[in-house]
Structure 1
Amino acid sequence: MNIIVFVVFGTDKWLAVTRKNRISEKTLLIISFLGGSVGAIIAMLLFRHKTSKSSFLWKFTILLVLQIGILMLLKQYSDH
C-alpha cells in the first residue's frame, strides 16, 4: 500500500507541475489512512509535495495520530 500511495503522491505532483487535473486531497488522505502513511511521508519529502500547505499537513497529522491510536488499541487487545 505504501508503494501505491507513493506513486499516487508522485503522480499528483507531476499533475500539479504540468497544470493538469489533480488528485483530490481527500483521496490522498484516505489512501494514506488506509495503510500508506509511510509512503505518503516519503513522497511528500522526496517530491516536496504538500509540504508547504498547512491545512493539508494538519489533516495529515491528525490522520497519523489516529493511526497510532488505532494501532495501540489493537496491540492492547491482542495482548489479552
Structure 2
Amino acid sequence: MFNENPLWFYLVLVNLYVFFLMYYDKRQAVKKGQRISEKNLLFMGIVGGGLGGLLAQKIFRHKTRKKKFYLCFLIGVAVDLLLIIYYH
C-alpha cells in the first residue's frame, strides 16, 4: 500500500505526528512544562494532520475550548480527503 502510493505514508505519518504532539502538549500543560506552540499545532493540522488532531482533542480533552483548533483540524481532514481524491 505505501510502496504504491507515498501519499498514504504521508497521511499516516502526519496524523500520527499531530496526535502525539497534542498528547505531548497536554502532558506538558498538566506538568506546567514547555509547551508546543499553537502556530505549530495549527499548521500541522492544516497540512493534513486534522484527523490526528481531532482524535487527540477527543481522547486527551485538549484544546477543546479553542474553536480555531477544531476549524483547522477540520480543514486538515478536508485536505486529506482532497489529496486522496486527487491522487487516487
Q: Identify the TM-score tier after normalising by the shorter chain.
A: 0.7 to 0.9
Name the counterpart of 2:78: 68
Distance in structure 2 (CA, Å) of the matches to 1:6 and 1:62: 14
Tell me which of 9, 12, 24 is aligned to 2:37.
Answer: 24
Identity %: 37
Alignment length, in residue pairs?
Answer: 73
Q: Structure 1 regions of 5+ residues with no counterpart? A: none
Q: Structure 2 regions of 5+ residues with no counterpart? A: 1-13
* Length-normalised TM-score, structure 2: 0.66
* Length-normalised TM-score, structure 1: 0.72
Q: Which structure has the larger Rg? A: 1
CA contact (8 A) 1:29 1:60 kept: no
- Cα deviation, residue 39, structure 1: 0.3
Distance 1:30 1:62, change over 3 A: closer
Following TM superposition, the consecutive aligned residue runs of length 4 or more in structure 1 with deviations greater than 6 angstroms are none
Name the counterpart of 1:34: 47
Q: How big is the alpha-carbon RMSD for the aligned residues of Structure 1 and Structure 2?
A: 2.6
Name the counterpart of 1:45: 58
